[in-house]
Structure 1
């Protein structure tokens, strides 16, 4: 059927796709030369007129039936396939909406959070440079140790833990240190974990999100940190009555071959 030769009829918004489909169809049926002819059509008395007339009618008919009604009404009086094709391009230009000017951006007001980030940006840089710079900053702005310095809620202590800077951690250790211990456990930094536990052994029993620090270290496969944190974690926290901490620790230890590769075969 004629109506199945292209996926969609021509409307005022799909001209570019329709043009490609239609051109390929006309090429396949040896009708495209009629559409893109650069010379005038032959006169009725000329021998080639009958063949041209037949091809022109076939091309024109294909174009007509594959247009939506509103488009067809604009081209129905055109009797040349070539002129009809060009008219469709003009109609497409008429129907293409002009891009609306983009609204001018509203002035951005700095939020309180952005002001905090800017205020303590030098502290973030100091954490990577060394303890003395951090110590000097904290002496001048002691409230800095309690501020969240990143979009993820990290304090100065957390950033120091990420960098593995033990001296900086010792300088700025604060009430948010339970999360920092989990970071140290997950990164396998034994010295950093020892530093935090020496400050407060209770940290070994405080869960960051779901796991206590020994779970985090074991899950990451850090054997030495796991052994240390296990030694300072009260046994009561690893019993079934306290939750899943103990079973999770055993499962992670077996998966990471802490008891040898054969043990994992029992899982």
Structure 2
């Protein structure tokens, strides 16, 4: 997918480049004095009069919209779908960080399943039991689905043994 001419990055966010992408976008937003709206939501000061509070809100709203737009146009389709209905730059940033950090955290499990290495997968699941429910962002599949697709019957059997009824 082509990068927009006014995007803040050289490549759109996808499941393989979150760490680099987040550095590029953060640096851009810092340079444009927009990072503060990503760090925290708008706060109101009780000491402000109504007109001053209104002016502060309008300034924050403009910065938020600009930061959110830069984040949105710097995302590929998958990432865009995660933040499509958001109106907050902070919420968009936090959503993407949570999603892609989970992806990177659980990637060793999917790599082990892909290669058919049950010992490696089991070791990872021992350290990270919640990974049994983790989903690959690009396919939304859990490790069991991947093992089934790849016809790694021994891994399928082992994963089923570890999963609760809810997981299945």
Q: Which residue of 2 aligns with 1:99?
A: 108
**Unpaired stretches in structure 1, ≥5 consecutive residues:** 105-267
Q: Which residue of 2 aligns with 1:49?
A: 57
Superposed displacement of residue 41, structure 1:
4.1
Distance in 2 between the 1:78 and 1:19 partners? 18
**Unpaired stretches in structure 2, ≥5 consecutive residues:** 120-168
Query: Greater Rg, structure 1 or structure 2?
Result: 1
Superposed displacement of residue 78, structure 1:
1.2
* Relative contact order, higher structure (CA 8 A, sep 6+): 2
1:60 has 2:68 as partner: yes
Distance in 2 between the 1:95 and 1:35 partners? 22
- Kept after mapping to 2: 8 A contact 1:41/1:52: no
Distance in 1 between the 2:10 and 2:16 partners? 14
| Secondary structure, counterpart of 1:84 in structure 2 | helix
Q: Which residue of 2 aligns with 1:85?
A: 93
Q: What is the number of residues matched between the two proteins?
A: 102
Q: Which residue of 2 aligns with 1:8?
A: 11
Distance in 1 between the 2:28 and 2:22 partners? 10
- Kept after mapping to 1: 8 A contact 2:42/2:60: no
Superposed displacement of residue 84, structure 1:
0.9
- 1:47-196 to structure 2, matched below 5 A, reads 47-96=55-104, 97-100=106-109, 101=112
Superposed displacement of residue 50, structure 1:
0.5
Q: Could you state the TM-score of these two structures normalised by the residue count of structure 1?
A: 0.35
Distance in 1 between the 2:63 and 2:32 partners? 10
Q: Could you state the TM-score of these two structures normalised by the residue count of structure 2?
A: 0.54
